[in-house]
Amino acid sequence: DAGVHSKAWYAATCDRKTAEDALYRSNKDGSFLIRKSSGQDSRQPYTLVVFYNRRVYNIPIRFIESTRQYALGREKSGEERFDSVAEIVENHQRSSLVLIDSQNNTKDSTKLKHIVRVS
């Protein structure tokens, strides 16, 4: 169990568009939620959705079978790994999360500050 089910920031049945719409409505930098990934891939079970600078970022959360841990984004050397999705959220409420805009090739960073609930 990833430690997501009782959390305020977990939007279980939310699809990508609903999540993005909710974050645009919040319009606060650092707004976030976690949803199930659209692809139903066991190696990428969740997506962290973050609002920053009038943009919404969908960051895949990977499940690493060999260590039974979670990590953000594409696999990279020296990446941070966590024992649960809740630990990822707690970590990035304290320390900044790097946001990479692949279209404009820019990097930003923000902390996870505002939980967005999807109604």
Domain range list for the chain: 16-115
Quote the pLDDT of residue 1.
Answer: 59
Task: Please give the backbone phi and psi of residue 5, each rounded to the nearest 5 degrees, phi first.
Answer: -65, -30
Q: For residue range 49-75, list pLDDT tens digits in order.
A: 999 999 999 999 999 999 999 999 989
Q: For residue range 25-40, list pLDDT tens digits in order.
A: 999 999 999 999 987 6
Q: For residue range 83-117, list pLDDT tens digits in order.
A: 999 999 999 999 999 998 888 888 999 999 999 99
CA distance 78 to 102: 21
- Positive or negative, the CA dihedral 71, 118, 115, 5 is negative
| Residue 87 DSSP SS3 | helix
Neighbours of 13 (CB within 10 A): 8
pTM score, whole prediction: 0.93
Quote the pLDDT of residue 42.
Answer: 82
Residues 6 or more apart in contact with residue 43 via CB below 8 angstroms: 62, 63, 65
Quote the pLDDT of residue 86.
Answer: 96
Determine the topology of domain 16-115 in CATH. SHC Adaptor Protein (3.30.505)
